[in-house]
Each structure stands twice: as C-alpha cells, then as structure tokens.
Amino acid sequence: MRKLCPNFDREDALDTVLEVPIPEEMFANMGTGAARWQNMRTWLKAQAFDRAATDAPTELSGRSAELQLLLNVVGSPLIPCPVPIDRAFSRSIRDSSIQASTAKYIIQQYIAATGGQAALTSVNSMYAVGKVKMSASEFHVGDQTVAAKGSGEIGGYVLWQKNPDVWYFELIMAGCKMSAGSDGKVAWRQSASEQSHASRGPPRPLRRSLQGLDPRSTANLFSDAVCIGEKIINGEECFILKLEANPATLRARSAATFDIIHHKIWGYFSQRTGLLIQLEDTHLLRMKAGRRGESIFWETSMESVIEDYRYINSINIAHAGRTMVTLFRYGEGSVNHKRKMEESWTIEEVDFNLWGLSTECFLPPANLKKEQDGDDSHGG
C-alpha cells in the first residue's frame, strides 16, 4: 500500500502523506515515472469533496454511475440497527427463552474466542487500512442466477472508529473517492460527484466493521439475537443467530416515497472455534404506489465470508473475506431485474487505542443536507 507521494510544490520538501493509502496495483495503472505522480496529483484534485458543495450536480452515466453504485451499495452499507453499549457483557443468560439464552451462550464463546472480555472492553478506538477488489454484473431480466463479471476494480480504504456509532470511513477506487461517517447523532455519506447527505433513522455502525474487525460491537449487536438452528459453512458446523430491526427503526428509516419492509441479519458462529465465519443480511424496500396503484420492491441481500483471523494486541481480528451482493427488483406490472456484485478484501494494517483521536475528528461535512425522499434507498 502506497502511503506517501512526492511534494510537487517543493522538491526539497518532505513527501506528502496520502489520506487513504493506495494499493500497489492501483498505483501501477497510473502510468510510469514522473507522469505517474502527476496523474495521481491531477486525479486527487479532481476528487476533492468540496467540488460537490460548489459545483452544480451532474448526471452520472456509464462507468461513473457503475462505480458510484458499487461504492454506495458494496463499499459503505450500514447494519440494520444501532448497537447497544456493552450489553453482551452484562446480560444474564437466565430469564430468557431457550433460543435467546442459547444465543447469549454462543456470544460468550465468541467473546472468549476473540480475546476475552478484558481485552475487548479495553478498546476505546480503532484504526484500519484495507484493500478491496469489486466487480458487478449487468442487470438481468427475470430471476435467473447471475454472476459478477470482469477482473474488477481495485481500491483502498481507511476506517477510524471511536465507538460503534462514531466512525469515519474513506474509500478510493478506480478514479472515484467517497467517504461516510457518523458523529453519534447522524450518519452521512458524500463523494466528489454528489453532495453530502444524512441517512434516515438513528445512526448505525458501518457493516464493514462487523465483518470480523470489531468483535466487541459484534458481540453487543447479537446480544439481542435468537439462535434459530445450525448449518455447515465451508465444512464448519455453525450456530445461526438471527436479529431483526424493530418496527420503530424501520419507520424512522422510511420516507414519503418508500417504506423499509424489513432488515434482517444472520451470524454464523463456528462450533469448533467460536468465531464468526459468515455474516448475512437482507433488506427489503417498497417504492410506494404511483398513479396506477402499483408498487415496486427492491431487495438487497448480502453474504460475507470472514477469514484469516489473527491476533492484534490480544484481540483476534479477521484479516480477509469476500462479500456477495444481490440486487433484485420486482413488482406488479414491472419486469423483474437482478444484479450481482462481489467484493474481496484484505486488512493491511490495524491498531487500537489511538492517542489524540477526539470526537471532533468525526464531525459531519459543513454542507450536510437532510435526506430527500428517495435518496439512499439502496444504501442500507
């Protein structure tokens, strides 16, 4: 991962530190020699977020629209509901249904497998640098099986997190740059091609942080889950824990033009190791009836395989994985369409308990606008 680039304003000055490290493969595609660095400089200036605040919005088309869809749907989705603070470490297994008590016992095994309560509760902040590769299929008519195509686009990201509801994420991929974050009061997203806007409903954690990167939040999220059975995943016998967003959260995320029907999440925990090895969620949205009284539904399904657990400062962190996303559009009087997207990722660097990381680092953009009806309907 490239973290530095030359200072073009002064040859005798120190190198410039990149805000988001760039994968070597992405850097190699920018040319050779001095032209490569000049291409990077031009590209970075073109991706400045303040352009979206001053320039008139432009209609995206072609490859730019494809990349923006990947960044929004695959790059920065949120989980279904807010994460309770350390409920997994304080709730008793007793006085619950068999399914809920079983789930709490499984979470206690997960806490032990990822480092134990003392190690997890000692974390007050986190930083991670990762590399991603994304690809997508075309929209296909009907409900037949589809697969992502092409070699994919390569990018890099950085994630800063103070707690599950206070985080900042930035991703660079194939000439596009986007960021998302939450200050604990409002979650938002922005890019150079669109103005920053706030998401509806209560602030929620980034799904990416629960893909084996933040065991403490994962344990707290599934502290309210129920165990619904067992399943073999890649040769591992797993317990299945299920959680659904409550009706109040779904109503808060809905708008005048669409309703969130449900948002569910499943965690598959290995019976052998206690670790989370697969994460799934499904999100169903209904576009409200038009003049002819017809409703259109959008269903987004995500499945993440989580791998390569390694200890960092006594905490067991997943360092690689793959996510498959399916977008399915259907409804009365509408031709069904399906699309597949895929992402593979690796964690290149991670650290905990960062000095000087204050809440001011997570403030939303100054030009933040409230969500308009229909905005972010596929953003999780």
Q: Return the pLDDT at 266.
A: 97
Q: What is the pLDDT of residues 246-280, one digit of tens each?
A: 999 999 999 888 999 999 999 999 999 999 999 99
Q: Return the pLDDT at 222.
A: 95
Distances (CA, A) of 302 to 37, 77, 127, 264: 37, 10, 24, 11
The one-letter amino acid at 42: T
Q: Return the pLDDT at 170.
A: 92
- Give average pLDDT by consecutive 10-residue segment, the chain, 380 residues: 67 70 66 60 56 47 69 86 84 76 94 96 94 81 62 88 92 84 90 78 91 95 94 95 94 90 96 97 86 81 96 96 93 78 94 89 79 52
Which pTM was predicted? 0.85
The angle subtended at Cα 183 by Cα 111 and Cα 204, nearest 5°, is 50
- Cβ distance 221 to 83 under 8 Å? yes
Q: What is the pLDDT of residues 72-108, one digit of tens each?
A: 888 889 999 889 888 888 766 666 788 889 999 999 9
Measured from the Cβ of residue 309, the count of other Cβ atoms closer than 10 Å reads 18
Domains of the chain by range and CATH?
A: 67-362 (2.50.20)
Structure tokens at 244: 């659904």
